[in-house]
Amino acid sequence: MRAIILAVCVVLIATSCGGLSRLLPCSERRHASGIAIVCREDITPWANATEDLKGTHSFAMELALAYPDSFGYPVPDFEQRQVVLRIVRPDAETVARRWLASGIDLQEAFGKVRSLPRPMVPLRFETATRSVKQLEGIKDDIGPNLRDLPDADAIFQSGPDIRRNATRFTIDRESDALLRALAQRYGTEALVVEIDPARPDFR
């Protein structure tokens, strides 16, 4: 009976700690591997943004995905009400100025054409070194391509981190071995990691 009670207590403590971790203030830091441990994205600025800003950012993301070697991830500047385009190759600026001047047609699968209207808010260009193609490749590695890494089962989600022009992996626990292996594979700037012990059950 004592063993059962002890087991129940351990489960309750673990569950409480997972919930408590969501309430404690998050502080971002660098792991010893060099990878940045980051906090959950604050969605408040998105909720308060104008439809024109959100719409232009959505179009900018489509543009970047259509020219993945040339652009990094675009990011909204909520304070200035602008969209920042990350320019990786010179042709990206040419494409962006064409979009700005008169809108642009994007080629899609099966010969379809997607017409993007002109931006509804100002654009700002910034030079970047990491392309959408590189970052999407890292994002899509989640799963079988990472199973040879130690504690790879801790990774349960991947997505773009547009603010840092990086890929974000979400893990359910901190693992020195995993973070060092990720740093060795991807470097310390193209990938950031969020730790969320309250892993959702996708089953």
Model confidence, pTM: 0.86
Contact 111, 72 (CB under 8 A): no
The span from the CA of 138 to the CA of 136, in Å, is 5
Q: Quickly list H helices, the chain.
A: 2-23, 44-48, 51-66, 90-102, 132-139, 176-186
Position 13 scores a pLDDT of 39
Position 36 scores a pLDDT of 98
For the chain, the first-to-last Cα distance in angstroms comes to 32
Domain spans of the chain, in order of start: 26-42+134-195, 44-128
Give percent of the chain above pLDDT 90.
Answer: 81
